[in-house]
Amino acid sequence: MRHVYLHVPFCRRRCSYCDFSIAVRRAIPAPQYVEAIKRERDLLFASGEWDEEPLETLYLGGGTPSLLPPEAIAELVGFFMSGARARAPRSYNGQRKTGRGRGVEVTIEANPDDVTPPVAATWRAGGVNRVSVGVQSFSPAVLRWMHRTHGAGQAAKAVRALRRAGFDNVSLDLIFALPDALRPNFRRDLEKALALEPDHLSVYGLSVEPRTPLARWISAGAIAPSGDERYADEFLLAHDRLTDAGFEHYEVSNYARPGRRSRHNAAYWTGEPYAGLGPAAHGFAGGIRRWNMAPWAAYERTVHQGKSPEAGRETLSEEERSLERIYLGLRTRAGVLRSDLGAEAEALLEDAVSAGLLARGGRRIRATPKGWLALDAIVGRLTTWAASG
């Protein structure tokens, strides 16, 4: 496994739109979490499902990984970067090199209010070299509505602290297509984000997930979601503004400066195997997708007993894997090989090409920005065709 994801489930509160598997805690059980992750890693090695290969990427997501004490983060990074788990000499800048000659990308997701100069310095000294800051919005009213724990001015403070600690790979998250009642100004959010000079931006349209506070508010008529037209307008606004600013729109929701793409997320989109550790974490290898039990208490108890926390797995058929490769490929700027798509399937999409939703280029076919907005419908047509054939 060259790519490893650690799910840190702890949060101070649940955001209004969030349906992730989290555990709201006032006191974060950091020692217990670190020990549980180590135990699960050892169980995966003992089972033979995880080969000892040089590490390419390590990603701490959540939840809110930045709630862990920085020393716990450094301990986890050191554990996965040590010995046979990252067999390679150190490069000139202190990062470990992999068999492909690049330093291991180590990312942590962080809330702005958790990033202080001492925390940032400890992360950097401990081996973290990429930080994804969950800004979401620069509007105080929107942040309160989202149930975020940070204020509008804390994103800038967080970025300054990270830069002073030596981070040269900082990503910011923004959310667009917010309800009209909030009077959002996504253009202003984009400009404020650009003023912080990030290396990467992830821009997500607000989605309404079941069993979230947002879904309940909409069901009760307390608020109405944004319309499709504004969703499309703001998506294309982000594309135009960020590409004009020198960012590459390399995946539906992601923009990067040259050399600053997320290598970890790219592994998902290209179908590379990855391991997922922690409550509710998912892994994929050899056409098999597996996932862990979600509740933190049950997960910790199970691995402490020396048992696998796996809650389920599925084996994808060749047809399912092919459709998934096409879907994931079309999410990216690279697109898919026309030979992988096949002549019959490509012919089925001719009207999407004519409408400017897809574009041919040499041996590949790619979605345009407008095509990304219609991607589910495009791939749905292929799925229906495959099922009928």
Q: Does 13 have pLDDT greater than 50?
A: yes
- How far apart are the C-alpha atoms of 181 and 232, rounded to whole Å? 18
- H/E segment holding residue 21: none
- pLDDT per position as a tens digit, 303-346: 999 999 999 999 999 989 989 999 999 999 999 999 989 899 89
Q: Does 4 have pLDDT greater than 80?
A: yes
- pLDDT per position as a tens digit, 221-275: 999 999 999 999 999 999 999 999 999 999 999 999 999 999 999 999 999 999 9
- pLDDT per position as a tens digit, 273-283: 999 999 999 99
Residue range(s) defining the domain that contains residue 218: 3-269
Q: DSSP readout, 193-226?
A: HHHT--SEEEEEE----TTSHHHHHHHTTS--PP
Question: What residues pair up with 337 in beta bridges, in sequence order?
Answer: 364
Does some domain include residue 126?
Answer: yes
Do residue 199 and residue 129 come from a single domain? yes
Does some domain include residue 306?
Answer: no
Does some domain include residue 307?
Answer: no
Does some domain include residue 305?
Answer: no
Do residue 78 and residue 168 come from a single domain? yes
Task: Give burial (CB, 10 Å; 0-12/13-18/19+) of 228.
Answer: exposed
- H/E segment holding residue 348: helix 343-348
Q: What is the mean pLDDT of residues 64-75?
A: 98
Does some domain include residue 327?
Answer: yes
pLDDT band at 53 (very low <50, low <70, confident <90, very high): confident
Do residue 258 and residue 331 come from a single domain? no
- H/E segment holding residue 371: helix 369-373
Q: Does 90 have pLDDT greater than 90?
A: no
Do residue 337 and residue 198 come from a single domain? no
Which residue type occupies 17? Y
Instruction: Report strand pairing: 275-277 vs 3-8.
Output: parallel
Do residue 248 and residue 380 come from a single domain? no
- CA separation, residue 251 to residues 24, 110, 123, 322 (Å): 31, 22, 28, 19
Question: What residues pair up with 24 in beta bridges, in sequence order?
Answer: 11
CB 202 within 8 A of CB 132: yes
pLDDT band at 388 (very low <50, low <70, confident <90, very high): confident
Q: Does 97 have pLDDT greater than 60?
A: no
- Read off the tokens for 308: 């696998």
Q: Does 26 have pLDDT greater than 60?
A: yes
Query: How many domains does the chain divide into?
Result: 2
Do residue 361 and residue 237 come from a single domain? no
pLDDT for position 389: 64
**Phi/psi-derived region of residue 25, left when phi > 0, alpha when psi is between -120 and 50, beta in every other case:** beta
Q: What is the mean pLDDT of residues 171-194?
A: 97
What CATH number did the domain enclosing 366 receive?
1.10.10
pLDDT band at 201 (very low <50, low <70, confident <90, very high): very high
- pLDDT per position as a tens digit, 336-380: 999 989 899 899 999 999 999 999 999 999 999 999 999 999 989
Do residue 254 and residue 362 come from a single domain? no
Residue 22, SS3? coil
Cβ neighbours for 15, distance < 8 A, ≥ 6 positions apart: 146, 147, 148
- CA separation, residue 23 to residues 33, 100, 256, 332 (Å): 12, 37, 31, 32
pLDDT for position 123: 98
